[in-house]
Amino acid sequence: MSDSVARENQLPPFQNEPLTDFSNPQNRELMQQALDKVRGELGKEYLCYVGGEWVSGEGKLTSINPSRKTEVVGVVPQAGTDLANQAIRAAKAAFPTWSQVPVAERCGKLFEVYRIMRKRKYELCAWMIFESGKNWAEADADIAEGIDFVNYYCRQMLRLSHSPEMIDAPGEENRMTYIPLGVGVVIPPWNFPLAIMAGTAVAPVIAGNTVVLKPSENSPVVAIKFVEILEEAGLPAGVVNLITGEGPPLGRHLVQHPDVRFISFTGSMKVGCEINEEAARIREGQVWLKRVVAEMGGKNACVVAEDADLDEAAAATAQSAFGFAGQKCSAGSRAIVVADVYDQFVEKLVAASALLKVGPADDPQFNLGAVISPISFEKVKNYIEIGKSEGRMVLGEQAVPDDGFYVAPTIFADVSPDARIAQEEIFGPVIAVIKAKDYDDALRIANGTRFGLTGALFSRSQEKLDRAAREFHVGNLYFNRKCTGAIVAQQPFGGFNMSGTDCKAGGPDYMLQFLQGKSITTKKLG
């Protein structure tokens, strides 16, 4: 946001939420206290939040700790279609009022959310550590991003509340205002259980829409904690309605509903494509085309040229591949290395990755936690079996604890660009290393998947970097650093092709997806 809008609204200039320094004993103590507090609250039962009331659903869903599979994090309702319809009715009823609340007033409520999130940062981290298997640093980055989203989107909406400059014809005055769309359905994934869930829920609300939020069945408790904050901040009833439950039946029902004006989805390519198709079908009583924001998967590549700093490239590739056990949409799951430095790079990548320790997320000595669920565990293990026939396992199957869904960092070398492990999103700690003949070949291989989310290039040559800027077809491109870790207002995030609709979350254009422009012309009367 321009400084002038900040000044006009008496706000300090936007600053990213700082990450917590856990080498500071005081911060470690605060984190430990939060973990102890939250540990004491595990296993509780929760309710859905519809029309400002906490209500039960038809069945129950248990959320477990992936690091210790016998530990119940919470029990939440399994909402059925009746409750889903009730949530849509509540959102529809709240829309006429909420959409007319002046932007500054709406933002006032959301800035209060921002303040409470900051105050409860450690506690929210602890919930993510237990429910999603995020280690301390990953959970801290997640909450920082969530805080940034709320703060940044409010400021963007304040900017958009002014008409862009229009040309006036003689005797006429023109302006354009951005108005909200209506009722939206927000369907986030579990892997950024706070940041993406909160960001995708609040952006449309700041724009004046009302929403039904259906969090992932793998991370419902974190979403409930966030909605408790919305309630504490005084968000009016019906503006955000939360219903929990298994994705397909509940999510599908919401997407199909004729009163829904837009869907904001983040998740896998398969589900995103289904939502896109379902949303395109006009239902009885529907008077609009549904707008779909669908941010989907990736098969992201770290490209290593012959003139790269190989130590840096190997360390950054290991971070890209194995941070949060490879469960980031931006994770580097292919390393594409030119032949001249291939053997050297593989050796360095294995050395950097072999140091990573796997264990429970609440214990800060471990670098990698468990994967999210038994389904995910089986899927990743299956890909590792496939990988054994598609490449040479140069790291993998190290001993890991067996009381959670742990998978050891796994590297397959000598993988063909067309192999399944080089084409399909695995979403676990597995990377395929591919040999390229030269830089041309490396770029061709990098672009040779259905996806186009993130990518990294390691090279000292400006010419190669310039060429990648033009030809490496990804929404988020990084030079000489890891391909994960986009930051709000620094790297607007979203991908090309089957990675989605390129929404550019955390960027200046994001809010426009939840708004429509209305042009108003006034003829001056004589």
Angle, alpha carbons 113-138-41 (nearest 5°): 65
* Burial profile 105-121: b = 16 or more Cβ within 10 angstroms, e = fewer: ebbebbbbbbebbeebb
User: In the complex with ligand NAD, which residue's Cβ is closer, 208 or 500?
Assistant: 500
Positive or negative: CA dihedral 323, 325, 331, 332: positive
Residue 459, both tokens: 């090279």
Separation between Cα atoms, residue 40 and residue 396, nearest integer Å: 36
User: Minimum Å distance from CB 331 to ligand NAD?
Assistant: 8
User: In the complex with ligand NAD, which residue's Cβ is closer, 58 or 440?
Assistant: 58
Of 145, 132, 242, nearest to 190 (Cα)? Answer: 132
Residue 439, both tokens: 């830089």
Residue 304 has a CB neighbour count (10 Å cut-off) of: 30
Angle, alpha carbons 161-163-167 (nearest 5°): 175
User: Minimum Å distance from CB 249 to ligand NAD?
Assistant: 8
User: In the complex with ligand NAD, which residue's Cβ is closer, 144 or 296?
Assistant: 296
Q: Where are the alpha helices (DSSP H) in 355-419?
A: 374-390
User: Minimum Å distance from CB 285 to ligand NAD?
Assistant: 21
User: In the complex with ligand NAD, which residue's Cβ is closer, 158 or 187?
Assistant: 187
Of 484, 138, 135, 481, nearest to 314 (Cα)? Answer: 481
User: In the complex with ligand NAD, which residue's Cβ is closer, 426 or 445?
Assistant: 426
User: In the complex with ligand NAD, which residue's Cβ is closer, 358 or 453?
Assistant: 453
Tokens 């400084």, located at residue:
3
User: Minimum Å distance from CB 350 to ligand NAD?
Assistant: 25
Q: What is the DSSP string of 263-324?
A: EEEES-HHHHHHHHHHHHSPPTT--SPPEEEEE----EEEEE-TTS-HHHHHHHHHHHHHGG
User: Minimum Å distance from CB 194 to ligand NAD?
Assistant: 12
Q: Where are the alpha helices (DSSP H) in 40-135?
A: 81-98, 103-119, 121-132
Residue 38, both tokens: 């939250």
User: Minimum Å distance from CB 135 to ligand NAD?
Assistant: 18
Query: How large is the greatest C-alpha to C-alpha distance in the chain, in angstroms?
Result: 85
Of 289, 285, 253, 239, nearest to 92 (Cα)? Answer: 239
Separation between Cα atoms, residue 222 and residue 193, nearest integer Å: 6
Helix, strand, coil abundance in the chain, percent, nearest 5: 40, 20, 40
User: Minimum Å distance from CB 319 to ligand NAD?
Assistant: 17
Positive or negative: CA dihedral 482, 499, 477, 192: negative
3-state SS assignment for residue 65: strand
User: In the complex with ligand NAD, which residue's Cβ is closer, 9 or 78?
Assistant: 78
Distance from the Cα of residue 38 to its chain's centroid: 24
Catalytic residues: 295, 329
Under 8 Å CB-to-CB from 184, ≥6 apart: which residues?
Answer: 91, 204, 209, 210, 211, 212, 260, 261, 262, 263, 264, 514
User: In the complex with ligand NAD, which residue's Cβ is closer, 206 or 498?
Assistant: 498
Of 240, 9, 262, 218, nearest to 113 (Cα)? Answer: 240
User: Minimum Å distance from CB 174 to ligand NAD?
Assistant: 36
Distance from the Cα of residue 319 to its chain's centroid: 18
3-state SS assignment for residue 118: helix
Separation between Cα atoms, residue 520 and residue 126, nearest integer Å: 49
Residue 94 corresponds to which amino acid?
A
User: In the complex with ligand NAD, which residue's Cβ is closer, 182 or 297?
Assistant: 297
User: In the complex with ligand NAD, which residue's Cβ is closer, 158 or 421?
Assistant: 421
User: Minimum Å distance from CB 197 to ligand NAD?
Assistant: 9
Residues found near ligand NAD in the complex (CB under 6 A): 187-192, 196, 214, 216-217, 247-248, 251-252, 255, 266-268, 271, 274-275, 295-298, 329, 425, 427, 453, 493, 495, 499-500
User: Minimum Å distance from CB 205 to ligand NAD?
Assistant: 18
